[in-house]
Structures are given as structure tokens and as C-alpha cells.
Structure 1
């Protein structure tokens, strides 16, 4: 990389450290417009852009960039260290840490992993919930518009009507999606950091399958287990204070 490119990347790093996250993300995006031939350097730029987006509260966009980066190379702990720091810090803020919610776009990040008020979905982590089933994301799929929904919710919706993003109301790009691929990066992070809620999602899906097979009692047992796990998650959050 030439000297000018190095200076630009240094500026992006300084912007990130100064929490001028929009500037940092924009610089990395510009660098990716003419990506380096070396896949390793391209991966590094993508991860840094995703980090800036995540810390700026744009989690949906960030997870999509992490997913794209994972197509170059499997992401390891070194690639996701900043994201893990952000998520753990957000959880601490929610559960009585520094208690300083952000405004504007940052408010969405506070809700994503930091706002104590339950949103329209009924899930404390509103940005990490599905607008179709109003529950915590399970097997999340990122649509072309950047918003995430449960895979089963999208598949069920497609059987009944043309799929439309419940967030931005986009239909043009969504209509051309032939199959739904789980966002593996996001799914693994949700399973790691929210194991109870992730397990509850599994139980709900199992309950739905049993109910469809007319095994009502077995389905109710799965639903009850899911509810208890949700209560356990809330108790766990409270105990961290």
C-alpha cells in the first residue's frame, strides 16, 4: 500500500479511537471501493469497517459486513474482539453499568443491547429481535436491505404472501431472494452471548413443529420450557447488577 493509503488508514484508526465512528466507517468503505488484491488486507478492512459500524450503533449493517468478511476467511477471536467488547459493554450498561444511553442512531444501539425499556417486540434486546414473531432472533437471516429476521418466519411469510421487510417496507430486493441463508456470524454470537434466549428459540421452534403434528401436550411442554428460560435470562441480567 502506498504512503497516501497508509495515511488514510491512520486517519481512520484515529477517528475510531476518538469515537468519530461514522468517519471511520466511511473511510474504510472508501478504501474498500477499490479493494486491495491481497485477500488478507481486504478482510482486515472489512472487519475494521464492521467494528466502526457496531460501535456506532449500526449493528444490522455491522453484522452484514462481518458476514461478508467471513466469506473471505473464517472469522476467529482476533477478528471479533472489538465486537465482543462492544456487546459485553452494552450488556453491562443495560444491567447497571455506566447507565448512559446514547441518542439518535446510538439510541438504537442502546436498545440493541442496552436499553432497560422493552420495545414493541417485547424483547429487552429489541435490535436483536425479529419483527415478524416479536421474539429473540433464532437462525437469523440478513435480507439485502440489511435487516434481520428468523429464517422460519421468512419461510412461513413467503408461503402466505410476497415477502416484505417489516423494518423498511422494502419489497424490490427481497422479492429476488430465492433461498434464505442463516447469518452464521450473527447466529454464533447470539448463541454465545445469549445462550438462554437462543435455547428458548430452539424450544419454541420444536414446540411449533410438535403443534403442527397435533402433539399439543408435548408442544405446550416445549413452550413452558422456553418461557422459563426467558425468565432465567432476566434473573441472570438482574444478578449482574
Structure 2
């Protein structure tokens, strides 16, 4: 399966997956234009749309796409996604014949209450839950919910390619550096990202193994995060450490 990030809106990525026969899936189309252009340029036939959550920058192009491509739209059980044709929830499987693909559905509440991720075909389509070296803001969930969601994703196979929905990686890396300044894997990833972005290339996808080595929100039990938390007056459990990380990221301007 070929995995293609399509830049959209200000800093979104729409994910396009297709096989060698030209059968395609699109994930979180915030606008239709980039998808239509990629389908035409690559000679692809759209077969399905997968949505992770209800925010407009993830679903805004769905209706326009479906008006031209009457394909199934998989989405979480959320009335705010009116365009959905098939509702899926934790433990469900999305199985497609064209392209031949299978994705496990994982409930990951935190950013929104009904957010889901799709894992399969070598990729993790995680929307706004997990970012490279970061995680989503908690608009509708609690720190406990979000940490549990990230734990579930972190326990997936490390070779999965993390396909998140925003180009936030460089800024996330600058924050991560304040948490773990001695993390060699983090320093190497920052250099890699800087080189990619200098040539206007996406920093994504990235392996889940790399995220486990560099993302402070997946490393709440690491010695460095524990030390950082104590320095910031947090002596509680891992949920308290995660909450402190997220609160500090919310106001970080580095």
C-alpha cells in the first residue's frame, strides 16, 4: 500500500492510501481539492473515506468528495458527522475489497470524546490524538482518558507508520527538548525534521518506535519526565505527569 500525505488548509495532512491497481482510500479530507488533484494526477479511483473525528478540518471536504465519488464513509458514532454512511467503534474492523485492506478501529478519546484511530496495512491513522513528538489538545476529554488512549497506541507494533493529521513536528520537537535535553534519539529526530522542512518536505509518516523514543507524551514513566515533573512541583502519578506536560505544552511558545 502506498501512503501519501496531501497538504491541506493551513497545516493539515489528508492521508491518501492506494494500491498498485489504482484503488484508493482517503483519510480525514478537510477539503476536497487536494484529494481530487491527487486522484487525477495518479489515475486513482476513490473507494472509501475514513474519518477519525468531527472537527471541520478533518471532514470539511467529505460531502464534496462523495458528491463525485459515491463511496462509503466510515466514521465514529457521533451525530456531528452527518455525512457518515457506516458507523464504527472500538473493536470494529474496516475490511475493504478494493483496495484490499483491513483496519482495526481503536477508540482514543481525549482530543474529542468520540475520536477513533485506524490501525492496519502498516499504518496508524491517528488523527489528532498522537502527533510526532506531541499529542492533541484536550478539548472534550480528561488527562486520564488521553493518557489511556496514548498508551493503547504506544502498545501497537513499533514498525507501524504514524500518519497524524498536522505538520506540528518541529514545534513539538522544540517542546520535547525542554523535557529531555539529553535524549539523543530526540536530537537526531529534530535534525531530521529540520532537514525535511528546509526542503518543504513532510516530516511524516514516522515509525511508532521512533515516537516511543522521542515523544514525551509517550514517555511519562521515563526518568527524565519524572525529574521534569518534580522540578515543576508535580509529585503525583503518571496521570498528573501527563497533565503537567499537556498544560505546559498548551502555553509553550518556544
TM-score w.r.t. the length of structure 1 is 0.28
> Highest CA radius of gyration, 1 or 2?
1
The one of the two structures with greater contact order (alpha-carbon pairs below 8 A, sep at least 6) is 2
Greater fraction strand: 2
TM-score w.r.t. the length of structure 2 is 0.27
